[in-house]
Amino acid sequence: MDNHLRETVEMVSFNSLSCACVAECGLRAGYMEVINMDSGVTHFVDTMLCTDINAPVTGQLALDLMLSPPKPGDPSYNTFAEETLLTRATLAQNAQQTLKLLNDLPGMSCWPAMGGIYLYPRLNLPAEIRDQANMLGLEADVLYCQMLLQEEGLILAAGQHGGTTGSHHLRLCVLVPPDTLEEVLSRISSFHLRLTDREHNGSYRKTKSRRNMLSSAEEIGQSYI
């Protein structure tokens, strides 16, 4: 970046524990770097940061470790390096395995993960499922997830990805133990293939109401990803 841009462009950069290998479930902390921000805006931001938005102590400790990791020669460096390499290798392997399975399923497509821990497969759902979702006042991908919970005891997140109106997606976290991922993918595949078979046979079993689905989450011994 040349001097003119370096001295005039206002820029805010964000980073967090979720972007590193040190994050564990429940740890929430991050930071931002502010460059060339207008003084009036800076005052407003500083005022906001003085409110009660501090991360928990455990999150702050983890963030400090992320910014100042063990160095070669430190007592914990070998353990840190081994765990980091294992995490990255597991993430890469899981992402590739999940991507292949999702793209092999009929009516489902997915782009590779681009540096994150989530995959967002797109669903091309049958008209019957979309119509049933409309009658229940739900998005079709939400209904898909409810049916998945009901039939396989698996909780999966639904949601838009990429801002495409009218599209339906799932959200899968692939940074999990490989044996857990194997079980999850097996359940997703089994459910999705049954759903596809129903489409060909023209037989759809009506799912429960939204109220009953809420209680199902407590009744079923489910997995979560």
Task: Please give the class, per CATH, of domain 93-224.
Answer: alpha beta
Query: Per-residue confidence at 157, pLDDT binned at 50, 70, 90?
Result: confident
Percent with pLDDT over 90 in the chain: 41
Domain segments of the chain as ranges: 3-67, 93-224
Query: Lowest-confidence range among 12-16, 35-39, 107-111, 206-210?
Result: 206-210
3 contacts: CB under 8 Å, gap ≥ 6: none
- Is it the case that residue 82 has pLDDT exceeding 80? yes
- Is it the case that residue 215 has pLDDT exceeding 80? no
What's the whole-model pTM score?
A: 0.72
